A and B are shown apart, each in its own frame.
Chain A
Amino acid sequence: MVPGGAQRRGDPPSRPVRTLRVKMVLLGSSAVGKSSLALRFSKDEFRSTSPTVGCAYLTRVVHLSDVTLRFEIWDTAGQERYHSVTPLYYRGAHAALLVYDISNRESFIRAQVWLKELEKQHIPGSTVVWLVGNKGDLAQDRRVSVQEGQVLATERGLSFTETSAMSGDQVVELLLAIELCDSAHRVYEGVGAQQEVLSEWRETPLVDLCRTHTFTPAASCCRVGP
């Protein structure tokens, strides 16, 4: 209903169309396949990518019977020079995907550093964190076992999956799982409820949660919030 990007100001409020907006951020060292995963998510394509500059913003709209899901995917650059700006992108994310390359042990270790960083920022319960072992097609070069990933995820209370952006294996499953998991604290938004959307970067995710609980589809934005 709204093509890509931010919601428009000035649309008539309280239309009974519901959009579930899922802000998702991909984190991890460079060359682990974040952009390839993002491309799979948004366009179901695979092509060789060049290093991301800054951060790429992609969207994927999924229509379900009762609701429209709008995935906003922030594909961050893994390069160290961008690390200082990365919090810009993961603030307020509903789902954070910590991606590592199963054939690169260093990237697995870096994922744990990312996790620490993320834990400093996010409010428990507001962001679903997934540990994603990518490049599943390179099983012959595997340096990180499935168990290791699983153990780390269990220890830190994360969800875990292994994917292959190249073959597309488990990618759609991951997207759906994120949706399911995220539905525990859905962020409904009527098209009219603009303030929250536009200011989302500055808000803590907690505000979104409040909204979720008090939300009624027909309500105007004025009645929402604490």
Chain B
Amino acid sequence: MFPDPTEINDGDAADKEDPAESRLSDVAAQEQSLDAEPLSDQEKEQETEETENTERQNNDSTETADGGTEDAAVDHDQSDSGEFVVTVLAKAKLEEQGIGVKGRSSPLLEAGTQECPAFISHRDEDVTGDSWRQHRKHVFVLSEAGKPIYSRYGSEEALSSTMGVMMALVSFVQSGDNIIRSVYSEQHIVVFLQKGPLVLVCVSSSRQSEEQLRGELLYVYYQIISMLTQASISRIFEHKKNYDLRRLLAGSEKILDGLLNLVDSDPSFLLAAIHCLPLASSLRDSLSHILQKAITPNLVFSILVAKNQLLTIVQEKTVIEDTRLEPTDVHLLLNLIGASSAFQAGEIWTPICLPLFNPDCYFYAYISYLDPPECTVCLLLLSTDKEAFYAVAECKRKIEEAMVAQNSLSLIAKAQSYSVSQVGVSDLRHFMYKPFDVPDTYRQLTQFTSPEMEAPYSSEEEKMRLLDLYRFMHSRIHSTSRPLKLIYHVAERETLLAWVTSKFELYTCFSPLVTKACAITAITKLLRWIKKEEDRLFIRYPPKYSTTPNPSKSSRGGKSDQQDSTDNGFLSLL
């Protein structure tokens, strides 16, 4: 019975089992189950299957809010799932109260799991309430021992039993030499992703495809890696299986929250491409040139960002020959900047890992805004030398001076995204165009271009609706079982056309009355327009520099030399 609602690794893709599904929702409705209902019901099934390891068996009485692995919180002796739910509920309540008592003044596990009050409210959300259950997309991160690490909504403590159930599911399927991938119910899809010692779970009612949701979980994983590195995480859990990773992630909840909000609202993540700010190519070139001139040994990337969009990126020559910067790494950096207002106070110097560049090593990032107090233009300099702060800060000084001399800041301030009306195709409302790498620009960062979302997509709800339509088109195009090249989709209030070729991927949105022939003509016009404007819409020829006058001190170290004991010295803290 277990495999019914659970899609097993080698099982058929995404097939719903109707009996199981209706049973799941019935149970949920009757019992008012307070945790993710398919899960608690799954748990009941698991109990009868009698699979759990013995260490969980007699923990019922000893479980505490701050307990260890026993937080899996499964009352295996109970045959009645109603009772199970009640127990879970009681415990959740208890834990909640515990948290309520812990105000600002009381210590938590370690100094500082409680942070600035601004996002305490969010974390304090009542996880037993309906509003919590109605969130469109939940994301949970837990360790293999079932310890909560992150929850998008509600506090991890209050959810430790829920996460325990999730982990029980994962390990149950694992014990059968298999991997749990997803659980479908009528309203929700639950997607699992296991990366090393971390388990990421998404519970979504957004109707996105499983692959898309898994991709989003992967972004969450990478953001965690960017703060801790994969090597540290593996080492920590090798050393201590039930380590509470929140100790090390303390204060970064906002970065993960911000990432998930971006993932929902910014199609860059869906397309795995960078959206750069449209800029006259002469201005972009002059900015790149400024960055190119302000260098110091071991500087690897110089990145200029305005309004959270990329202006230009200049890379060390030898590094780019080895590896190119992946869009995902840029997304993570942009999110880091966007999510933390702390950067506005001064110059930041921080270790940061670019997981796709090298998941095990740190770069040292210098981050500073160039236009205080507005703080829209941000400079990011990545070095492999942790002692290079003063040298890198000096590069910023040079960049600042050159930008003042060329009046760059006011020119940047005028730059903005464009309106679809500039394309001059009447029925076209919006589009997203992502060119693929062609051989001569092989090392180029994957980019896409897209106009502002204008009426009728100006409200947040409508924007989200359009994005959902795009996500739907995307999932059809990239379906693992039946990928498509061209879709013409007549939706309720608009008509969409998605088209993928060897050269580009294109999503267009037209007014509802457009004809197929009209749409095709429009797309021809659109492609012509993009071709004409591409110097403005894309970073065409990413410039390089060489910071190695002295070849013996090569900054190729970006790849491996930078790893030293202090960089990844988290173990010493254990």
Decide yes or no: A81 and B346 within 8 Å by CB, A54-B365, A88-B387 being known contacts: no
By the criterion CB–CB under 8 Å, are B227 and A50 in contact?
A: no
Task: Give the complex CA separation of A35 and B348 in angstroms.
Answer: 12
Q: How many residues of A contact B (CB 8 A)?
A: 51
Q: Which of A65-111 contact B (CB under 8 A)?
A: 73, 75, 77-85, 87-88, 103-107, 110
Provide the residues of chain B in CB contact with A82, threshold 8 Å.
350-351
By the criterion CB–CB under 8 Å, are B112 and A141 in contact?
A: no
Q: Which of B490-549 contact A (CB under 8 A)?
A: none
B413 within 8 A of partner (CB): no
A147 within 8 A of partner (CB): no
A53 within 8 A of partner (CB): yes
Provide the residues of chain B in CB contact with A104, threshold 8 Å.
104-107
By the criterion CB–CB under 8 Å, are B105 and A30 in contact?
A: no
Decide yes or no: A198 and B250 within 8 Å by CB, A79-B112, A81-B227 being known contacts: no
Provide the residues of chain A in CB contact with B483, threshold 8 Å.
none
Query: Of A55-63, A119-127, A169-177, which binds chain B?
Result: A55-63
Provide the residues of chain A in CB contact with B248, threshold 8 Å.
79-81
Query: Of B30-38, B115-123, B444-452, B553-561, which binds chain A?
Result: B115-123
By the criterion CB–CB under 8 Å, are A80 and B342 in contact?
A: no
B550 within 8 A of partner (CB): no
Task: Give the complex CA separation of A38 and B344 in angstroms.
Answer: 13
Task: Give the complex CA separation of A218 and B389 in angstroms.
Answer: 29
B330 within 8 A of partner (CB): no
By the criterion CB–CB under 8 Å, are B112 and A50 in contact?
A: no
By the criterion CB–CB under 8 Å, are A57 and B117 in contact?
A: no
Q: How many residues of B contact A (CB 8 A)?
A: 55
Task: Give the complex CA separation of A81 and B250 in angstroms.
Answer: 8
By the criterion CB–CB under 8 Å, are B250 and A79 in contact?
A: yes
Decide yes or no: A51 and B252 within 8 Å by CB, A38-B345, A39-B345 being known contacts: yes
Q: Is the interface of A mostly helix, strand, loop or mixed?
A: mixed
A150 within 8 A of partner (CB): no
By the criterion CB–CB under 8 Å, are A49 and B393 in contact?
A: no
Provide the residues of chain B in CB contact with A53, threshold 8 Å.
336, 340, 342-343, 348, 350, 367
Provide the residues of chain B in CB contact with A50, threshold 8 Å.
115-116, 118, 254, 339-342
Q: Which of A139-165 contact B (CB under 8 A)?
A: 141, 143
Could you list 25 A-B pairs, sorted by A, with CB under 8 Å?
Answer: A5-B390, A5-B393, A5-B397, A31-B115, A39-B345, A48-B117, A50-B116, A50-B254, A51-B340, A51-B342, A53-B350, A53-B367, A54-B365, A55-B349, A56-B343, A75-B345, A78-B111, A80-B248, A81-B249, A82-B351, A85-B566, A103-B104, A105-B107, A106-B111, A110-B111
The interface of chain B, by Cβ under 8 A from chain A, is 103-108, 110-112, 114-118, 227-228, 247-252, 254, 336, 339-343, 345-352, 365, 367, 386-387, 389-391, 393-394, 396-397, 566-570, 572-573
The interface of chain A, by Cβ under 8 A from chain B, is 4-6, 8-9, 29-31, 35, 38-39, 42, 48-59, 73, 75, 77-85, 87-88, 103-107, 110, 138, 141, 143, 197-198, 200-202
